[in-house]
Amino acid sequence: MAGIQRCKPFIVVLLLQIFISALSLSSVNGDGYTINGPVKIQSFGTKGFGHPGKLSNVKVILNGGQSVTFLRPDGYFSFHNVPAGTHLIEVDAIGYFFSPVRIDVSARNPGQIQAALTENRKGLTELVLEPLREEQYYEIREPFSIISVVKSPMGLMVGFMLIVVFLMPKLMENMDPEEMRQAQEQMRNQGVPSLASLLPGAARSN
Amino acid sequence: MAIRAFFLVLLFCSSLIPSFALYEDQVGLMDWHQQYIGKVKDAVFHTQKAGRKRVIVSTEENVVASLDLRHGQIFWRRVLGPNDAIDGIDIALGKFVITLSSRGGILRAWNLPDGQMVWETSIQGSGASKSVFLIPKVGGDNLIFGLGKGCLYAVSAIDGEVLWKRDMTAESLEIQQIIQAVDSDVLHVSGIIGSNQFGTCKVDAKNGELLMHNTADIPGGLYGEVIPVSSNTLVALDSTRTTLISILFSDGEIILEHTPISNFVGDSYGIAVISPTKLTGTFALKIETLVLFVRLTSEGRLEVVDKIKQPTATSDMLALSEGQQAVGIVQHEDGMIHFSVKLVHDWGNSLLEESIVMDHQRGLSDKVFINNYIRTDRSHGFRALIVMEDHSLILVQQGEIVWRREDGLASVIDVTTSELPVEKDGVSVSKVEHSLFEWLKGHLLKLKGSLMLASTEDLVAIQDLRLKSSEKNKLTRDHNGFRKLLIVLTRAGKLYALHTGDGRIIWSLLLPSLRKTEACECPTGLNLYQWQVPHHHAMDENPSVLIVGRCSSSSDSPGVSSFVDTYTGKELNSLHLLHSVAQVIQLPFTDSTEQRLHLIIDTDKRGHLYPRTPEAREIFQREFSNIYWYSVDTDSSVIRGHMLKSNCISKATNEYCFTTRDLWSVVFPSESEKIIATVTRKVNEVVHTQAKVIADQDVMYKYISKNLLFVATVAPKASGEIGSVMPEEAWLVVYIIDTITGRILQRMTHHGSQGPVHAVFSENWVVYHYFNLRAHRYEISVIEIYDQSRADNKDVLKLVLGKHNLTSPISSYSHPEVVAKSQSYFFSHSVKAMAVTLTAKGITSKHILIGTIGDQRYLDPRRSLNPSQAEKEEGVIPLTDSLPIVPQSYVTHAFKVEGLRGIVTIPAKLESTTLVFAHGVDLYFTRIAPSRTYDSLTEDFSYALLLITIVALVAAIFVTWILSEKKELRDKWSVHLVWKWAFRTGNV
């Protein structure tokens, strides 16, 4: 039920688009129409790992696999013999995320095609398919830095130890000798072993 | 305080890393990816003036691929749509690969070096016809003549422009063949009209004008195809298949000549078939296993040149340089294949005779393609590409197998797993690390890698080290249960065992029971079941699997079954069942040798018990009244529940046969609902907890029953493709049905939605994917079912005093009150397959694996699915209406599993980990940990860093010890001095 309520504003948006959007080329041929347009993949500047980036293996899929086509060298694709109605076009290119495109082929005005991205509900004035974003399939290893070593569990262990070894005595020194003695007294009473007493051959004799 | 603070930081750090992300250098560590092409239909060699020699193939999986002739690797590969079958393939202009697909509808040109599509031409026509095309080898017009959808057309090879098109339906000619006579601009088109008329046309190749049309009656009619033998002769069989008719046409005259087959072979022979070879002047006539090569003499007579008794495959004609024509013939003889090349005009002499030892498991050869090359001594050498019965591809050259491709694995039907044998005493313990030094060196390298200090050579060394780690490829059981055997049944009827470590084939078996025999003409494999899983009692037995198939594609044909040992790959036993196979039910009982009881239901609704032992029968009789199952009839939209009634009484049966009765049925109104998907829970799924704690600290009890069935129905009008129906006419109704009682627990309608529906059912929830026509987007919905009758078991006092009903047995017959919660999200991808992760004990949270239309698979953690207000307020569900996909959560990362058909999940012994196997045209295997590997160290755990830390800590301990010793000494000295001073001053 929630789905229906949600899509109402979307329909309104679409209705508006029908009047606004410019038309992409199509030709009547026999019992169907032809949908064609380009797929444009600009290099996003940063070329990440694992992107073959080959335009030749980009597939364009009509209606969830009803027909599949490939791109020509100029980046254009075409579907022939498409009946009037509402269709869905998906682009499958590894390394990029494309929004599926809703295509309305008008039966009344032959040759009119409206297109809209379903992902962000944006109408397309021309049937030019562009990726919404690049996809990074791998985590990128962070470059070596002291911080990362320090942040690792081992680094933390070493760091903690260093603090105990070097900072604690300093803290002890800054303490009031009276208090110190009291604290030591207490510790002795409680029987908490000190660092030195834990070590072999370091029995205290004061 | 300090310690606690540090812990917080630690936790924070670890929670920052996403749960599935993979570093690029970890590729291949846990996963493997294998690319296949499928059974080769047609092949064209490209060896002239090319640096890289290649062969272009088209396959039954609708793949066009370019293979390296030296090693058999794929240069490039294009997978066409599922209903875009390739009818023909050839090379034009020396640089384009031309394919004709979609029953002659689409002509495409691909760039030969890299597989980029150059042009695509769609032919629209009304009729149906054979689809063939012809690329004239001579003449500089660069034309391609094609036939498809009832039209004859010419297309420019350069840009794919249609130069002329002629609808041949007006002549009502069923075109069989196009021939272009040498050095002329005339196309000879011939075919049959009706069943007993032969027609031939001459068409101008320049503009498609019909020059001449001729017909001739064939008394008695024709059977099957008309085969061209030379540029003006065709050969066909008459309708009784006893006489060969040769049709000679020249300049408007058609001369028919009848030759009875008995002239060649005597009176007794079987069914004759003309095989369509492209030999000039000669054709092959197959009579059962006998192959006759028949030549057309210059006077128009037919004469037999050769008779071959063994199963044979013949290649097409190959034109040699001097105008000679050669043909390759492959014959089988006990474990050997004989490859010979003969000249068409001089049949007595062979150019080449080679014998090659061939693996029995590859079966007979199916197709042969030959190619020649000039040796250094200017004689002709030949290479042959052989397609075997198991769909594998073999290149033979100079009497040796140069390479082989296991392309049968591109058509996997079913998958199951088998444990590897336990490591026995005496078997040497793993020799992974040779010495401490090497071990340390390896780990130092890894440390360098993880600190990003490694050079490129180091990185290569690290990758090698990781991939080579022999630990994962051993053939014994491991502690974590990562190493297993994947038993895979392919469409060719071959069984493979793949190692999960690296995907190599351990053994393969061409199942004898799934091969063509007289009794069983085209057997197909159906399913694989784990037949025997040795556990407690029968540790010495090897595990085995059961393969069930049937003799033909119709469901009432007799079944076949076979039992195969998964360690040795030998067939233990095979049965030709007397009954048909409609349904196979794995019963949850095993006998004393751990053989699982199986009940096979035939189309007459009788049950047959396997194994056929008195012991199994006894166990079965004990549980007789507890066995229920259901059947789905999609044609009449009925779901029925069944149980057993009694023994069969008819005489043709035995004591292992049982009659059944219907318990209940759910009938969907066939005018408004059509069943398109049914899903149940996996039998081996383990549920850890019955309760779910929701956000407001409340507890809900899951309704967990093994007998739930999810059914999706759509309006019959909307069962077609997307875009074929208006939203008002479409609806999707989903049901959750108890399969014991037939009770409908939940019914939900999605208006304006249609299929295809993909669903997974796990624990108490079902997730399904469908298309919303109103929003024109895909949606994913979830239904969760909770048991309301246990909802008041929240009082601690009650639990302590035992006044709860949690231990009361759950029965489908008690009608507990259930509550279903549902939520829908938009989803931006089409889906091909869906699966859910399975773990050993069901503690780890579940992830759904979705095979997207782009054939990648990714994981989406199932959100907290309760649409309760409290949760929303707490921000448990991000308030979005669509499910976003994090690219790092693609399980296949940058790989694709082309033509994905199924995803199989297998629990590992380690609770956190699931093994995932995806099959389509490609195979992909990996292991994933939905909640990260909380119960083991990760692969790239740096032992060296740990060691260094320990060393540093020990060193620090000693340093501080020495320091404290010194300090103590100083203290003592100072005390001593104080004492001295006091003594001297006389204070004491």
**Contact status, residue A156 vs residue A122, Cβ threshold 8 Å:** no
Average pLDDT over residues B862-891: 50
Q: Is the pLDDT of residue B705 over 80?
A: yes
How far apart CA B355 and CA B259 sit, in angstroms, is: 36
Q: Is B691 exposed, middle or buried (0-12, 13-18, 19+ CB in 10 A)?
A: middle
Q: Degrees (nearest 5) of the Cα angle B912, B913, B917?
A: 160
Beta bridge partners, B609, equal B599
pLDDT class for B445, splitting at 50, 70, 90?
confident
Residue B274 tokens read as 């003309």
Query: pLDDT at position B53, please?
Result: 84
Output the pLDDT for position B329: 82
Residue B667 CB neighbour total at 10 angstroms:
12
The region of weakest confidence among B288-292, B317-321, B746-750 is: B317-321
More confident: B651 or B430 = B651
Interface test mutation site (partner B, options A1, A7, A27, A162, max chain B beta carbons within 10 A): A7
Contact A3 B779 (CB under 8 A): yes
Question: Over pLDDT 70: what percentage of chain B?
Answer: 80
Confidence of residue B954 (pLDDT cuts 50, 70, 90): very high
- B888 touching A (Cβ < 8 Å): yes
- Burial label, A4 (beta-carbon count in 10 A; 0-12, 13-18, 19+): middle
B751 vs A4, A85, A157: nearest CB: A4
Mutate to test the interface with A, among B165, B722, B963 (most CBs of A within 10 A): B722
Low-confidence ranges of chain A (pLDDT < 70): 1-31, 42-56, 110-111, 140-145, 148-149, 190-206
Return the pLDDT at B735.
92
Highest mean pLDDT among B332-336, B622-626, B847-851: B622-626
The CA distance from B382 to B387, in Å, is 16
| Facing A73 at nearest CB: one of B116, B823, B949 | B116
CA dist B224 and B891 (Å) reads 49
Contact B474, B430 (CB under 8 A): yes
- Mean pLDDT across chain B, nearest whole number? 78
Distances (CA, A) of A138 to A57, B823, B886: 20, 31, 11
Q: What is the mean pLDDT of residues B954-971?
A: 90
Q: How far apart are CA B946 and CA B643, in angstroms?
A: 61
Question: What is the pLDDT at residue B515?
Answer: 81
Phi, psi of B814, rounded to the nearest 5 degrees: -75, 140
Read off the pLDDT of each residue in B348-369 and give the average, rounded to a whole number.
82
Using the beta-carbon criterion (under 8 Å), do B968 and A202 form an inter-chain contact?
yes
DSSP character string of B306-339: EEE-S-EEEPPPEE-TTS-EEEEEEEEETTEEEE
Q: Between B298 and B837, whose confidence is greater? A: B837
If you average pLDDT over each of A140-144, B55-59, B513-517, which comes out highest?
B55-59
Q: How far is CA B39 from the centre of its chain?
A: 13
- CA distances from residue B113 to B94, B383, B804 in whole angstroms, order as listed: 11, 22, 73
Q: What is the pLDDT of residue B712?
A: 92
- Measured between CA atoms, the residue of chain A closest to residue B953 is A158
pLDDT for B376 equals: 78
Token duo for residue B426: 């005496």
Give contacts of B 58-77 with A, CB under 8 A.
Answer: 76
- Enter the DSSP assignment of B702: B
**Over 60: is that where the pLDDT of B870 sits?**
no
Given this model, what pLDDT does residue B429 score? Answer: 36
Within 959-988 of B, beta carbons closer than 8 Å to A belong to 959-961, 964-965, 968, 971-972, 975
How far apart, in whole angstroms, are the C-alpha atoms of residue B154 and residue B193?
23
By the 8 A CB rule, do B94 and B135 touch? no
Could you tell me how many residues make up chain B?
Answer: 988
Where is pLDDT greater, at B389 or B305?
B389
Lowest mean pLDDT among B638-647, B681-690, B740-749: B681-690
Task: Note the pLDDT of residue B624.
Answer: 85
In DSSP terms, which residues pair with B735 in a beta bridge?
B711, B747
Residue A49: what pLDDT?
Answer: 36
User: Would you place residue B804 in the very low, low, confident or very high pLDDT band (cuts 50, 70, 90)?
Assistant: low
pLDDT score of B794 more than 70: no
Quote the pLDDT of residue B959: 92
Confidence of residue B2 (pLDDT cuts 50, 70, 90): very low
pLDDT given for residue B268 in this prediction: 60
CA distance A156 to B949: 10
Between CA B227 and CA B234 the distance in angstroms is: 5
Please state which of the ranges B323-327, B397-401, B789-793 shows the lowest mean pLDDT.
B789-793
Interacting residues of B107 by C-beta distance below 8 A, sequence separation 6+:
B98, B99, B100, B120, B121, B122, B123, B133, B144, B146, B155, B160
**Residue reference for tokens 């262990």:** A157
pLDDT grade, residue B25 (50/70/90)? low
Helices B943-985, B436-450: axis angle to 10 degrees equals: 90
Q: For residue B924, give how far its alpha carbon lies from the nearest alpha carbon of chain A (Å).
A: 16
Helices A153-162 and B943-985 pack at an angle, to 10 degrees, of: 10
pLDDT value at position A18?
Answer: 36
Q: How confident is the model at residue B16 (pLDDT cuts 50, 70, 90)?
A: very low
Amino acid at the residue B62: N
pLDDT band at B830 (very low <50, low <70, confident <90, very high): confident
- Closest CB to A153: pick one of B2, B10, B948: B10
Q: Which of B36, B76, B35 has the alpha carbon at shortest distance from B56?
A: B76
* A112-128 per-position pLDDT tens digit: 778 888 777 777 777 78
What contacts B133, CB < 8 A, 6 or more positions away? B88, B90, B98, B100, B107, B144, B145, B146, B147, B148
Nearest to A30 among B120, B124, B450 (CB): B124
Q: What is the pLDDT of residue B955?
A: 92
pLDDT tens-digit series, residues B262-271: 777 766 666 7
Answer whether residue B369 shows pLDDT above 70.
yes
Confidence class for position B864, pLDDT limits 50, 70, 90: very low
Q: Region B622-640: what's the mean pLDDT?
A: 88
Helix and strand numbers (H, E) in chain B are: 8, 64
Q: Assess whether pLDDT exceeds 90 at residue B977.
A: no
Stated as kind and residue range, the H or E segment containing A88 is strand A85-92
Please list, in sequence order, all residues whose beta carbon lies within 8 angstroms of the beta carbon of residue B469, skipping any fewer than 6 positions away: B432
ipTM above 0.90, yes or no: no
Distances (CA, A) of B100 to A33, B176, B523, B525: 21, 16, 30, 30
Q: How confident is the model at residue B948 (pLDDT cuts 50, 70, 90)?
A: confident
- Check CB contact under 8 Å for B771 and A64: yes
CB B121 within 8 A of CB B160: yes
pLDDT of B324 above 60: yes
In this prediction, residue B733 has a pLDDT band, given cuts at 50, 70 and 90, of very high
Name which of B917, B912, B904 is nearest B841 in CA terms: B912
Dist CA B252 CA B201 (whole Å): 9
| Range B539-551 average pLDDT | 84
- Residue A84 to residue B928: CA distance in whole angstroms: 44
B4 pLDDT tier (thresholds 50, 70, 90): very low
Q: Angle at Cα B231 formed by Cα B228 and Cα B234, nearest 5°?
A: 30
The three-class DSSP label of residue B838 is coil
> Above 70 in pLDDT, residue B520?
yes
Which pLDDT score, from 0 to 100, does residue B840 have?
79
Query: Are A138 and B949 within 8 A, CB to CB?
Result: no
Tell whether B18 is within 8 A of chain A (Cβ): yes
**For residue B167, what are the β-bridge partners?**
B151
Measured distance CA(B196)–CA(B221) in Å, rounded: 4
Q: Hey, which bits of B857-901 come out as E strands?
A: 857-861
Question: Looking at residues B389-399, what average pLDDT do you find?
Answer: 88
Report the gap between the CA of B405 and the closest CA in chain A (Å).
23
State the pLDDT confidence band at B311, using cuts at 50, 70 and 90. low
Backbone CA torsion sign across B439, B441, B446, B447 = positive
Q: Which H helix or E strand runs over B960?
A: helix B943-985
Predicted local distance difference test score (pLDDT) of residue A138:
73
Average pLDDT over residues B348-354: 79
pLDDT band at B7 (very low <50, low <70, confident <90, very high): very low
Strand ranges of the sheet holding B902-907, from the earlier edge strand across to the other edge: B32-34, B923-928, B914-919, B902-907
Q: What percent of chain B has pLDDT over 90?
A: 5
Identify the H or E element spanning B620: helix B614-622
Average pLDDT score over residue span B551-567: 84
> What is residue B468's predicted lDDT score, i.e. its pLDDT?
60
* Three-state SS letters, B171-222: HCCEEEEEEECCCCCEEEEEEEECCCEEEEEEEECCCCCEEEEEEEECCCCE
Q: Give the sheet arrangement for strand B412-419, strand by strand.
A: B412-419, B484-490, B494-499, B505-510
Which stretch of A1-10, A167-176, B449-458, B832-841 has the lowest confidence by average pLDDT? A1-10
Short-list B7, B21, B13, B211, CA closest to B890: B21
Q: The tokens of B171 are what?
A: 């002549």
Q: Which tops the pLDDT comparison, A13 or B236?
A: B236
Burial (Cβ within 10 Å: 0-12, 13-18, ≥19) of residue A75 = middle
Instruction: Please compute the mean of the pLDDT values over residues B704-711 and round it to a whole number.
Output: 87
- Residues listed for chain A: 206
Q: Tell me: pLDDT of B703 over 80.
A: yes
